[in-house]
Amino acid sequence: MASDNNAKAYWSATLGLLTKVLIIWFLVSYGAGILFASALNSIHLGGYPVGFWFSQQGSIYVFIALIFWYAHKMGQIDRKFGMQED
């Protein structure tokens, strides 16, 4: 029974992390690149409008950082629930 509760808690923590990652992904890719691009274009970064920068380069940087953050947080969740790889 305790193992069942541990598995449910692990799955819940994993889904919570995945939800956060997908929200950030959506806000950066669709939000900054499409929905808020016109508002962000009033700000310039390196001579380019920020909306354009996010759709061309910025989102890639955020996605790479997101991969490393996800791996780090998933490792913490694995260790917390005793699911880490040895």
User: 47-83 pLDDT, tens per residue?
Assistant: 888 888 877 788 899 999 999 999 999 999 999 998 8
Residue 2's pLDDT is 53
Q: What is the widest separation between alpha-carbon atoms in the chain? A: 60
User: 8-35 pLDDT, tens per residue?
Assistant: 999 999 999 999 999 999 988 888 878 8
Rounded-to-integer distance, Cα 49 and Cα 45, Å: 6
Residue 1's pLDDT is 47
Token representation of residue 9? 């808690």
Domain parsing of the chain, residue ranges? 2-80
Rounded to two decimals, what is the model's pTM? Answer: 0.80
38 or 13, higher pLDDT: 13
Q: How much is the average pLDDT of 38-55? A: 84
64 or 44, higher pLDDT: 64
